[in-house]
Amino acid sequence: MTNSKTIIFIHGLHENAHSWTNWKPFFENLGYLCYAPNYPYHEGKAVELRQNPNTLLANVRMRDVVSHYTEFIDSLADKTPPILIGHSMGGLIVQKLIQAQKGSLGVCITSASPRGVLSFKWSFIKSNIGTINPLKGNSLFCGSRDWFHYAICNTLTRQESDAIYENAVIPESRNIPRSSRGIDGKIDFKMPHAPLLFVSAEKDHIIPISLNIKNVKSYKDKNSITEFKEFKGRSHSICVQSGWEEVAQFIEDWILKNING
């Protein structure tokens, strides 16, 4: 349980904190103190980053991103562990931070999975192979509009998907998802943990709902809270597509249920 009113939003791959543009004021209006830090070398406007990305990004691994958020949390004046809300790879980072006892509650929205939790669905393979392709070395990955529509926005029209792409998609380090499959992405599933909520999207291609369910079922401590919620008809773009407010309100209700006193 927690009495924290601080929320840290953690974005996923191929994007930056711009993805929380609607969520941050939504929760601030409910009385929360909200932060949305960027991953290393992700700061800036999407269109400019696509044209001129920082080449240092290519060497960033998942452990570097986790350390980045750990340092941010440790720098806060309020030492009460914050509430953590992450989308996609941000959901796995939430799991890592909760394991390190850096958060009082964790919400993992269409979360990337930890090491050893795998999917063999074609949509998962097709959506992810371009990023982690070992033949591409340390080059940056920036998916096409076709890829984005299939992997992220498959329940939206192409026009809607392209509009999101223009404002949000940035080049990404291939080494973040690659390293998440190794030691960087390891979770001790037997360890007691702060309450975790996993939110899944029924039509998600890049993180299928079956993968989220495997992730939830991997947690074994019977005295720890691990809950699951599926939203019908949504894709991986659940945080920005029409109806995102319903998802945010469900999460706020879950937070209130787990706030102490």
* pLDDT tens-digit readout, 65-85: 999 999 999 999 989 999 999
Beta-bridge partner residues of 196: 106, 226
User: How many CB atoms lie under 10 A from the CB of residue 69?
Assistant: 24
Residue 261 is predicted with a pLDDT of 41
Q: Residue 234 burial (CB < 10 Å; 0-12/13-18/19+)?
A: buried
CA angle 32, 20, 2 (to 5 degrees): 30
How many CA atoms within 13 Å lie on the side-chain side of 106? 27
* pLDDT tens, N- to C-terminus, the chain (261 residues): 567 899 999 999 999 999 999 999 999 999 999 999 999 999 999 999 999 999 999 999 999 999 999 999 999 998 999 999 999 999 999 999 999 999 999 999 999 999 999 999 999 999 999 999 999 999 999 999 999 999 999 999 999 999 999 999 999 999 999 999 999 999 999 999 999 999 999 999 999 999 999 999 999 999 999 999 999 999 999 999 999 999 999 999 999 999 864
User: Which domains occur in the chain, in start order?
Assistant: 6-258 (3.40.50.1820)
Tokens encoding 249: 């309100």
Q: Residue 29 burial (CB < 10 Å; 0-12/13-18/19+)?
A: exposed
Residue 97 is predicted with a pLDDT of 98
Residue 260 is predicted with a pLDDT of 61
Q: For 83-95, how does the pLDDT look when each residue is reduced to its tens digit (9 = 90+)? A: 999 999 999 999 9
Distance CA 31, CA 133 (A): 43
Distance CA 72, CA 177 (A): 21
Phi, psi (rounded to 5 degrees) for 164 = -65, -45
